[in-house]
Chains A and B, each alone.
Chain A
């Protein structure tokens, strides 16, 4: 159990969330180790043969559409439900009935619904859970937890009188109470305004700095991309797992987005001679354009609509980009390829408006995988 010294600055709100590292009293590198986990409810398979591991201190994103088995997996790892087959280790303990109490002492779970006693005050809610965990210095721990989620001034309010967002923050404070080694957060920013969500993001980052393992279930892909060291995409079975940038590279080739004032007369001749360029296609800058700040505003290839290579009226679909033309070039290293592409375009007499690296977002990866699976089924 962590002591009360060594408080850590919470970068998001500038508040202190106390305590040293979480309760990491086990030996071994992984905080969570899952092997061939399967859960069936009657004839329905909620989780199918899922294997992964989460390192200590890692923020691990668990993504997937509704009904993908995310919550079921969290419930299995949180010792609430038993797997049909497979095994797992959580916080150094095997996931068995015999060690369930040991696991529960070292983890905390924030379910999707805040689950607060509405007739009790915020402090009474937290005190109840502090007693269930058998925490010493309850009052100090409660104050620290409330300060971490910026709720100190609402400590004596009845939970029934709080807004949804504030209740969500109380639930997060409850999760922090026991100084857990592994935290399972199910949609922690649902219902929060942008400022509060930003604070929660800061809090999660601070937890990672302290060495707490965070298992984050979220629908917000930007949140996952920003916070998570690695992400897993589920749809009953595990579709993929890795660092967000690794997933992007694995699924999508890297590319340069070129925009010129007018369509090139012979684009094939311009691009074919460049060794750094492996392929190209004409593309319609369907979003962005001069009025919207140019191609620099584009962060995804999705913002471009591929058209027929011979050129033509490449920008015809977007009123903001009338007269301009776009090309997507497949390259190995955008930074290395860009100077050569620029020189070739200038030599061909093109008025280059911009050359940027097209970045695929985690959302692109997610949609690609989920759509691909739906297409197969």
Chain B
């Protein structure tokens, strides 16, 4: 296993974050997506006035909290999809690949640079949602949210789902030859969490603590496997020449 040089990973993160900050598209994605996915559950939950604690109230609260989980999937999927293919298109990948930086350092740096703002924004949105509930929602609804097992699950799901989206999109970006194709395919990474949200909201799947814990464990395994897969896909020769390494 190759050793990872933290300074080089830091250099990649710093460069990526500077580029994000100066890209209107990235900044717009980081502002618009959270707003869109914050407004609906907030308005909907403020409109709830239940007569008393009930199973349907808990289910509804669970749905709104799960809905917020689309944010840590959508933001990284649009940004990470650009990450590798974008460098290829502007010709910056080849000079970078001729330096001592390893592919693991590049990938970890790129992933971390997307993960940091994505998770930060997702937690910020969750915080705003909870603050609005605390001061504006029916006390019964607020109590249901604060005591919902989903709230605890949010804390774990946000980084794990972001990791899922990042690795899937980095894999797509490493294989794609066009930025638009990569971003369109990257959007597909958000489908599984959205599907899960729908299944939970229509009670096809019953939300339980065991289910949440299982999903957290599964996501952890998937994230690690995805990292290994992307490491294999990130081959210098294929990225530079567009051909499979050793093809003869």
Interface residues of A, Cβ cutoff 8 Å to B: 40-42, 72, 75, 78-82, 84, 101, 104-105, 107-111, 113-120, 124, 128-129, 131-134, 171, 174, 178
Contact = CB atoms under 8 A, between A and B. Distances in A.
Nearest to A113: B91
Interface of B: 5, 7-8, 10-11, 14-15, 18-19, 22-23, 90-102, 236-237, 240-241, 243, 245-248
B95 A104 contact: no
B109 to A, nearest CB: 10
Nearest to B90: A118
**Sorted from nearest, which 5 A-B pairs have the closest CB atoms?**
A131-B11, A113-B91, A115-B91, A109-B98, A132-B99
A300 B8 CA distance: 53
Contacts of A111: 91, 94-95
A129 B95 contact: yes
A206 to B, nearest CB: 22
A80 B94 contact: yes
Given A79-B236, A80-B237, A131-B14, 14 more contacts: A42-B243, A78-B98, A84-B248, A104-B100, A109-B98, A111-B94, A115-B95, A118-B90, A119-B18, A119-B23, A128-B11, A129-B96, A131-B8, A132-B11
Contacts of A41: 241, 243, 247
Contacts of B90: 115, 117-118
Nearest to A107: B98
Nearest to B23: A119
A124 B246 contact: no
28 contacts: A40-B247, A41-B243, A42-B243, A42-B248, A78-B98, A81-B237, A84-B246, A101-B102, A104-B100, A110-B95, A111-B91, A111-B94, A111-B95, A114-B91, A115-B90, A115-B91, A115-B93, A115-B94, A117-B15, A118-B90, A119-B22, A120-B18, A120-B19, A124-B15, A124-B18, A128-B15, A129-B95, A131-B10
Given A131-B8, A131-B11, A134-B8, A80 B236 contact: yes
Nearest to A74: B98
B202 to A, nearest CB: 44
A94 B202 CA distance: 62
Given A111-B91, A117-B92, A174-B95, A131 B102 contact: no
Nearest to B94: A111
A134 B98 contact: no
Contact of B240 (A81, A104, A105, A119): A81
B98 A104 contact: yes
B83 to A, nearest CB: 13
A107 B95 CA distance: 11
B61 to A, nearest CB: 42
Nearest to A114: B91
A78 B99 CA distance: 9
A142 B201 CA distance: 57
A133 B98 contact: no
A204 to B, nearest CB: 19
Contacts of B98: 78-80, 104, 107-109
Interface centre among B98, B243, B246 (most CB of A within 10 A): B98
Contacts of B94: 80, 109, 111, 113, 115
A171 B15 contact: no
A134 B248 contact: no
A178 B95 CA distance: 13
A116 B94 CA distance: 10
Contacts of B22: 119-120
A322 B247 CA distance: 61
Contacts of B243: 41-42
A219 to B, nearest CB: 19
Interface centre among A108, A118, A124, A128 (most CB of B within 10 A): A128
Interface centre among B22, B95, B240, B243 (most CB of A within 10 A): B95
A42 B245 CA distance: 10
A79 B103 CA distance: 13
B95 A75 contact: no
B245 A82 contact: yes
A132 B8 contact: yes
A46 to B, nearest CB: 9
Given A81-B241, A111-B91, A119 B19 contact: yes
B241 A101 contact: no
A10 to B, nearest CB: 23
Nearest to B93: A115
A107 B22 CA distance: 31
Nearest to A46: B241
Contacts of B101: 132
A239 B23 CA distance: 48
Contacts of B93: 115
A104 B92 contact: no
Contacts of A42: 243, 247-248
A129 B87 CA distance: 15
A132 B10 CA distance: 9
B19 A40 contact: no
B18 A132 contact: no
A117 B19 contact: yes
Given A131-B7, A132-B8, A40 B248 contact: yes
A190 B128 CA distance: 54
B5 to A, nearest CB: 7
